[in-house]
Structure 1
Amino acid sequence: MNPTFFAPDWCGLAWTDFVRLPMQKTTTRTIPNGAGVYRVRVVGRNELAYIGQTGRNLNERLRGLGSGLYASDMPYNDPHTAAPKLWSYRDGEGFEFEASATESTLPKNDRMGLECWLVWRYRQEKCRSTLCNFGRLHPRYITSRNRTTGQRGRKLNPDEPDNTGGTSVAPLARQGTAESRDWMGLAWSAPLTLDKINAKSVPRGPGVYRLSNGTHGIIYIGQSLNLSSRLRTHADTDWSGLTAFAFASMPESYTETQLLEVENDLIAGYFEEFRAAPLFQFGATTPAEPASDETASG
């Protein structure tokens, strides 16, 4: 049976046919020119390699993604963070890729929430993440940095250990509501006012957190290898009103990549409940950090 994540109506969206990357003149018209989300699959395998979004031009984005796949050197991390990751599997395993897209009129913050939701839905069906979201790439490669550094990725030497962010953690299941103590099956703390005194009382280990206020409910979801430190930093930020936080600790063994998976699933759970991302999650008005085109899933 074919997986649902290849279907033309996956998750209730109208997806284009899959086209081979890099796109040819005969196939480029298949991909629309508007903003939206896209999925990249491995030819001949029942899995997706990457799920992404763009606010500019899907056709241009996928042409750019495919342009460096067969280059002799690994592409830089910009302008497309997935390019070096896909290249690593093409070079290391001989994988070939196809892409499909769907347009979206959602504003940036919510479109990026939609991407997180699609990644979560894939994780639920496949019981693991895509090959190249969350910064993952072939375990025998290291990734390129941005073009300005001049540092390209490469294959690891035989005596170098695998480059891995750890195996995919199990996807979270929908449970409770966004501000409940059992939301998404995690054990959340009681909410506390966001200030440095309360943040200092939080464990220093890995975990996830949610910020909220009385007007908008949950306004931001995050993760950190050091919860106390991250929340102390947030306590210095003006969140436009009295803000509370709650947290859920994760196992000490969790890597940053695994925490990003949990964060993604929480954003997705919020999106499923409200059909929007938290107010300050990705938008240009986010007080917590600069606006970015990257989601938790990369």
Structure 2
Amino acid sequence: MVQRPPVCWRDYDGPEWGGVEWSPWMDLDADTLATAPDAPGLYRVRHQNREGLSYIGESGDTQHRIRALARRVHDSEMPFRDPHTAAPCLWAIRDDDGPGFELSYTTPEYAADDQQRKGLEAALIASYRLEAGESPPANFGRIISGYQQSSYRSGGVRGGSLNNGENEPNAELGRSPEPWVNFETVTDPNWMASDWSEPYRLADRLDADPSDVGLYRIWYEGDAPPLAYIGESSNISRRLYKHESTYGGDALFSYSSRTDLDASHKRGEVECDLIGAHYIAHGCPPRTQFGYTNQIEIS
């Protein structure tokens, strides 16, 4: 059954989006943002001349992160992709649409837990995608049409505007949001409208023979929700081989073959939809998401 998350997840530019208290919107200006707390938190960026949000992010030091972003977005040339992967795309939006960025932040107490903060970020992006029908343009390492993205600093390549009609692959449209079918039942064979395989033990992964491209989920019998992990890959078998040493042969997995996820940013978008739905349904991300493999012990 197609469902929607609770109402608080739908008002993506409102003061209580996601059930947390957001600051008022303010100019994306390093001096203006000096009043922001240096606490862990999340932030959202919008442009006055564009519909929707331009970026959703998180940080262990909100003030430092958003002030650094403000400075890079207003550089005279496109910044590198590090230390902020969204900066090149936001710079391109400013270059294309002029000044007009605004930012709002939130620093709930539980954001001090890295895993909870990153889980909330995934939930905010997933709920935004459901309402807006697309991702914020600066999430998932993308760039807007008509621009080449900078490399990482080590590559030394500054991006900028392209000739008319030219685009780079990262400007390709991403995936539309997943249908939120049975989003609370995380081991359902039709969870989030994907066609999931029957469960297999990781020790028996060779019997599954999944296609290369797609999604997978890992859990322990009698212990889900929460799931242990949600992943995406262009080579599912190889990823499962690596996971067996972490989760053990008795852990269960199922997979969903998705030939439509032919680019990294598309797989990232759908993976985020799944993690975000898991967070909204159960108040947490999968127990070992975001590198927390020390949490695989089962009570």
Q: Is the 8 A contact 2:261 2:267 kept in 1?
A: no
Q: CA deviation at 1:130?
A: 0.8
Paired position in structure 1 for 2:122: 116
Q: Give, in whole Å, the separation in 2 of the partners of 1:170 and 1:257.
A: 13
Q: In the alignment, which of 24, 40, 57 is matched to residue 52 of structure 1?
A: 57
Change (3 A) 1:167 1:282: closer
SS of 1:5 mapped into structure 2? coil
Paired position in structure 2 for 1:15: 22
Q: Give, in whole Å, the separation in 2 of the partners of 1:253 and 1:59.
A: 35
User: Aligned partner of 1:41: which letter?
Assistant: R
With the length of structure 2 as denominator, give the TM-score of the two structures. Answer: 0.85
Segment drifting more, 16-25 vs 168-177: 168-177
Change (3 A) 1:42 1:250: same
Q: Percent sequence identity over matched residues?
A: 33
Deviation per CA, 1:120-151: give whole Å up to 9, x if none: 11111111111111111112222222223322
Paired position in structure 2 for 1:243: 251
Q: CA deviation at 1:160?
A: 4.0
Does the alignment pair 1:100 with 2:100? Answer: no
User: Aligned partner of 2:231: which letter?
Assistant: G
User: Aligned partner of 2:102: which letter?
Assistant: E
For the aligned residues, what is the CA RMSD?
A: 2.4
User: Aligned partner of 1:171: which letter?
Assistant: E
Does the alignment pair 1:285 with 2:293? Answer: yes
Q: CA deviation at 1:111?
A: 1.0
Q: Give, in whole Å, the separation in 2 of the partners of 1:210 and 1:62.
A: 33
Paired position in structure 2 for 1:226: 235
Q: CA deviation at 1:37?
A: 0.8
Q: CA deviation at 1:80?
A: 1.2
User: Aligned partner of 1:103: which letter?
Assistant: T
Q: CA deviation at 1:252?
A: 4.1
Q: Is the 8 A contact 2:174 2:265 kept in 1?
A: no
Change (3 A) 1:89 1:162: same
User: Aligned partner of 1:88: which letter?
Assistant: A
Q: Give, in whole Å, the separation in 2 of the partners of 1:271 and 1:150.
A: 38
Give ranges in structure 2 of 5+ residues lacking alignment: 1-9
Does the alignment pair 1:144 with 2:129? Answer: no
Q: Give, in whole Å, the separation in 2 of the partners of 1:156 and 1:257.
A: 21
| Number of residue equivalences | 281
Matches within 5 A, 1:130-209: 130-158=136-164, 160-163=166-169, 164-175=171-182, 176-195=184-203, 197-198=205-206, 201-204=209-212, 206-209=213-216
Change (3 A) 1:32 1:174: farther
Does the alignment pair 1:74 with 2:78? Answer: yes
Q: Is the 8 A contact 2:135 2:174 kept in 1?
A: no
Q: CA deviation at 1:215?
A: 6.7
Q: CA deviation at 1:156?
A: 2.6
Deviation per CA, 1:99-125: give whole Å up to 9, x if none: 100003331112101001001111111
Paired position in structure 1 for 2:65: 61
Q: CA deviation at 1:95?
A: 5.1
Q: Give, in whole Å, the separation in 2 of the partners of 1:122 and 1:59.
A: 23
With the length of structure 1 as denominator, give the TM-score of the two structures. Answer: 0.85
Q: Is the 8 A contact 1:199 1:228 kept in 2?
A: no
Change (3 A) 1:193 1:119: same
Paired position in structure 2 for 1:295: none
Segment drifting more, 4-13 vs 244-253: 244-253
Paired position in structure 2 for 1:83: 87
Change (3 A) 1:232 1:8: same
User: Aligned partner of 1:146: which letter?
Assistant: Y
Q: CA deviation at 1:238?
A: 2.3
User: Aligned partner of 2:228: which letter?
Assistant: I
